[in-house]
Every structure is written in structure tokens, then in C-alpha cells.
Amino acid sequence: MTLGLAVATPVFGLITQPVSVAHYLVVGAIMFVCGIVCMAMKRNALGVLMGIELVLNGANVNFVAFASPYLQGEGSRSLGLDGQVIALFVILLAAAEAAVALAITLNFYNNHATVDVDRADDLKG
């Protein structure tokens, strides 16, 4: 009984109360940290790329949350269109970065026949 209530009460509180900017910030923080850990932990170059995508996406969630007029409380104003436009630019730059990084990864794979980032030590002094 206590276990069921302990799960049900916060969830019910979440879905009956209106969301605020802080809700979005928590989601963004979780995605950001997942991306950082992914970048640090994965040895596959494509895994590192996916971590970068997650980090950029977490930042985008924050931008959109601050830009949204629907999430602001009484008396406070949103960032307006600035946040949405910055989120769009971040999406575009992420696409550009993914294209170049994939070209570099494929070149690395061609030259070294591996995608293990620990083997990319040719420039080590």
C-alpha cells in the first residue's frame, strides 16, 4: 500500500498541476548529463557523436522552455522569439557538425580500419 501510494502520489501531483519552466529545465539537465556521460564513456566515435547530439538537444529544451509564453507564470514574460530562433540555429549547426564529423570518422575508418577513439593517437607527442 505504501509503495503504491509513494509512486502514485507524485505522479498524480505532476499530471494534475500545470507545468512550469523548471519542469523543462529538469528534462534538459537530464539529457545534457546523459550526453556528457555518453561522450566521456563511449569508445566508439559514433557513440561520442550521439553524445554531442544529446547535449545540444538538452540545451535546445532549455531555450524553447524560456521562449514559451505558455509556461511563464503570472507577471513574468518569456524570452519571445529569440529562444526559438536560437533553438533553430542550434539544430542547423548540429546537422552541419554531424555531417563534418561523420566525414572525419569515415576518413579515420578508411585510414585505420577502426572507429575506436582510443586508437586515434597519431598526433600524440
Partner 1 sequence: MMPGIATFADAVLAAPLPLAAINWHSFFFVLFAALACGFAVAVVAAENVVRMALYLVLSLGATAGLFFLAGAEFVGAMQLMIYVGGTLVLLVFGVMLTAQAPFVSIKGSGRDKVVAGVVGAVLLAVLLQAALSVKAWRAPAAGVVADPAATPIGMALVGVRVDEPGVGAPARNVRPGYLLPFEIVSIHLLVVLVGAAYLARAKRRKIPRAIDVAASAEPPASVAEHAAIGRDRQRSGSVLAGGR
* Residues 20, 70 contacting (CB under 8 angstroms): no
The residue (of 69 and 125) whose beta carbon lies closer to partner 1 is 69
Q: How far, in Å, CA of 36 to CA of 32, rounded?
A: 6
Show contacts with partner 1 in window 63-92 (CB under 8 A): 64-65, 67-74, 76-82, 84-85, 87-89, 91-92
Show contacts with partner 1 in window 98-117 (CB under 8 A): 98-100, 102-107, 109-111, 113-116
Show contacts with partner 1 in window 5-34 (CB under 8 A): 5, 7-9, 11-12, 14-34
Among 42, 67, 70, 38, residue whose Cα is nearest residue 54: 38
